[in-house]
Every structure is written in structure tokens, then in C-alpha cells.
Amino acid sequence: MSAVDFVMGDGVLRQAQDVDVSARESPPSVDFRALFEREVSYVMRSLRRLGVAERDLEDVTHEVFLAVHRRLGTLDASRPAKPWLFAFALRYASHYRRSDRCDLPIEHAPDVRATEMGAEAVLERRDKQQLLLDALEAIDLERRAVFIMHELDDVGCQEIARSLGIPIGTVYSRLRLAREDLESAVKRLKAQRGYR
């Protein structure tokens, strides 16, 4: 069973409470703590890119890993963990976006490397990161998920299809549309903000 079987089902994101994630599938062969330590940054990054506000990132990440722990027995240790985890993040981000919590605007992520860079470079990078986040907000969540996995996480299209439980053609289609949507959104936002 892939993560997708309960994450996306027939291709439509379902409400989190629709699916019982309380049952452990089988005794996990993966060290949960090692998985957490290795991938918590990735999960938080993914949630942020999927529209979870900075102030809620820790809480939603916590919820994701509670579910991951329950489903640890379904993780195929021979396959990369990131796409499997991303499916959890997508589901919880989707649920989050339907909740009251995401009414407030999304703010900058704190940049803990700021002291290692010049202030100008930090600000420039933050502007770019925020521009991309804002542009991502403008596109459909399913397209956005495919774009994030492929363009930002280097996940191959086959693996995306497997993780999200969608046909490979749908992956290509969503990727193409996401790029088009994103290009338009970036142009529009840059014009609005007076960027060159």
C-alpha cells in the first residue's frame, strides 16, 4: 500500500478525518527517530511550500509525524522516504488550508543563515523565496504538489506518480500546467511589486 492510497484516494484530496490513520499496518522496520531527524526539515519545508503559515509549521509538522508514526509499517524501506512523506504533508496541508488557521497571511521563513551572508544578499534571497511562495499560492494545490516534488525536491516523474497514486501522464500534465501557471503568476507579481 502506498501512502497515496489513503492520502489522495481516487485523486481527490479527502478530509483528514475521513481516513482512519490510527491503525499501524505492520511492525515498522524503520527507525522512526532517525527518520524524523533526517526528514523533519524536509517536511517543514514542504508544508511551507504547500501553504502552511510559518506560525503553524511546527504544529502541522507535529501532526504529520504523528500520522507517519502510525503508518510507519507501510513505508517501503527500499524506496526513498521523501516522496512518501510528501504525500502526508500534502494531505495535512490540504486539510490545513480548509481550516480557520490559514486565514492570516503567510510570512517569511526565518533565515538562520542570515549572519553568514551579507544583508543585501539575504534580503534578495528572501524576496525571491517570498515571490516564489506567493506565486505558488496562486496555483492549484495538486499542480503545485507535483511542481514542488519535481522542481524543488528532484523527485522523478515516475516516483511522483507512484507516491501520489496518479498516472504518469497526469504528472506530466500537472507539471506543464504548473510551470505555465507559475510563470504567469511570477510575471504578474513582479509587475505589481515593481520588480524588474
Partner 1 sequence: MNHDSPTSSTLQDLIHAEREIPTLPREQTVRMFDRLAAQLPLPAASTVSQAPVESAIAQAGLRTKVFGLGCLLLGGLGGAAATRALVPSSNSTTSNPVVTRVEIVIHTASAEAVPPSAPPEIQATASSSNPRNHSNPPKKQEPPKVSNDLKRERLLLETARAALQRQDSASAKAALDEHARAFPNGQLSEERTILLRAADAIRP
- Stretches 88-96, 99-107, 111-119, 137-145: which one binds partner 1 (CB under 8 A)? 111-119
Of the candidates 46, 49, 45, 41, the one whose C-alpha atom is nearest the C-alpha of residue 134 is 49
| Euclidean distance between CA atoms 192 and 196, whole angstroms | 11
Distances (CA, A) of 184 to 17, 25, 144, 178, 193: 35, 43, 14, 10, 14
**Smallest distance from the beta carbon of 57 to partner 1, in angstroms?**
10
Q: Does 23 bind partner 1 (CB under 8 A)?
A: no
Residue 89 CA: distances (Å) to CA of 30, 40, 76, 172, 189: 19, 11, 17, 21, 26
Judged by CB under 8 A, the residue of 108, 128, 188, 193 near partner 1 is 128
Q: Contact between 29 and partner 1 (CB under 8 A)?
A: no
- Under the criterion CB under 8 A, does residue 14 sit at the interface with partner 1? no
73 belongs to the binding site for partner 1 (CB under 8 A): no
By CB under 8 A, which span of 9-17, 19-27, 90-98, 107-115 interacts with partner 1? 107-115
Window 133-152: contact mask with partner 1 (x via CB under 8 A): x-x---------------xx
